[in-house]
């Protein structure tokens, strides 16, 4: 509804200017994230256009050298660990919170969301201080725990959203039919909220896989993850291998988040069973 039925010249000019401005904003949004992609296939060692030639040598560095392989391995360990714990506990919590009888919802919900609100450096420094005392610093368990705090709010929110479309009478029907709570959960509730759970899991995975500040404080040299390796690389010397790593990370997060959002939408729009 941009133009009125009988647009004046002034209106046409305004709309043209709006499109021009928005076109520039979209370029500003997209060009920076697309730039690393062609650079990562550059055969030269510099970041200057035009490219010298096409090659996959920087991907060979990222996927083939021991240092990057270890980092990718660490990232996967931490991200899968975080996803597992955050999805499991986050789903249980979302189910509890979706019950209107849950005591103190108004207090619990902001507390659950607080890891997203507190500046991440404070979380990282606090974890470093506490985990060092209890022997969790420089361990995978420590990093996974800290990442679970950052990732679980996403699971609680997405599963909560899919539960808001879940008809609780189905659970009552299952109970009347003689199903024990555990059976009705696995056979009735879980299949219906599964899109929401998987979407939450994807959010949790991406949150952990992209996280670098907490890792920077908690990880020893043996636990460097891919983002941390990138961060260190960016501080030391800008190498095109970083553009290859950035492209890989970007591709992974975009694919996972597209899946997460499609699932989340499907979880919410699921037709009810009448």
Q: Which of residues 94-153 bind another protein (CB under 8 A)?
A: 95-97, 99, 101-103, 108-115, 117-131, 145-146, 148-149, 152
Name the residue nearer to another protein (CB basis): 171 or 194: 171
Residues 22-41 that bind another protein (CB under 8 A): 22, 25-26, 28-33, 35-36, 39
Q: Which long-range contacts (CB under 8 A, 24 or more apart) does 239-243 make?
A: 239/45, 239/58, 239/61, 240/39, 240/40, 240/42, 240/44, 240/45, 240/46, 240/47, 240/58, 241/58, 241/61, 241/62, 241/68, 243/36, 243/37, 243/39, 243/40, 243/42, 243/47, 243/58
- Least Å distance between CB 40 and another protein? 10
Burial of 191 (0-12, 13-18, 19+ CB in 10 A): exposed
Among 71, 249, 263, 267, binds another protein (CB under 8 A): 249
- Least Å distance between CB 138 and another protein? 15
Stretch that binds another protein, among 50-58, 70-78, 89-97, 190-198 (CB under 8 A): 89-97
Residues 179-198 that bind another protein (CB under 8 A): none
Name the residue nearer to another protein (CB basis): 29 or 45: 29
Stretch that binds another protein, among 46-54, 55-63, 71-79, 187-195 (CB under 8 A): 46-54
In 3D space, the residue among 211, 207, 237 whose CA is nearest the CA of residue 226 turns out to be 211
């Amino acid at each position: 509804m941009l133009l009125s039925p009988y647009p004046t010249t002034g209106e046409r000019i305004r709309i043209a200017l709006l499109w021009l401005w928005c076109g520039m904003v979209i370029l500003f949004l997209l060009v920076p994230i697309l730039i690393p992609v062609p650079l990562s296939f550059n055969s030269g060692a510099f970041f200057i256009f035009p490219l010298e030639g096409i090659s996959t040598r920087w991907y060979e560095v990222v996927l083939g050298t021991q240092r990057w392989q270890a980092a990718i391995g660490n990232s996967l360990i931490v991200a899968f660990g975080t996803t597992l714990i955050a999805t499991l506990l986050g789903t249980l919590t979302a189910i509890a919170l979706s019950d209107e009888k849950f005591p103190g919802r108004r207090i619990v919900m902001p507390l659950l969301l607080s890891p997203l609100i507190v500046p991440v450096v404070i979380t990282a420094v606090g974890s470093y201080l506490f985990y060092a005392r209890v022997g969790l610093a420089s361990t995978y368990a420590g990093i996974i725990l800290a990442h679970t705090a950052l990732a679980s709010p996403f699971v609680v929110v997405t599963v909560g959203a899919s539960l808001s479309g879940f008809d609780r009478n189905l659970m009552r029907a299952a109970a009347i039919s003689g199903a024990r709570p555990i059976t009705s959960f696995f056979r009735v509730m879980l299949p219906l909220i599964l899109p929401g759970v998987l979407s939450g899991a994807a959010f949790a995975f991406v949150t952990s896989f992209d996280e670098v500040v907490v890792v920077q404080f908690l990880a020893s040299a043996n636990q460097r993850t891919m983002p941390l390796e990138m961060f260190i690389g960016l501080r030391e010397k800008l190498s095109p291998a970083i553009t290859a790593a950035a492209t890989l990370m970007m591709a992974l997060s975009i694919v996972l988040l597209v899946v997460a959002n499609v699932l989340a939408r499907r979880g919410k729009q699921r037709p009810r069973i009448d």
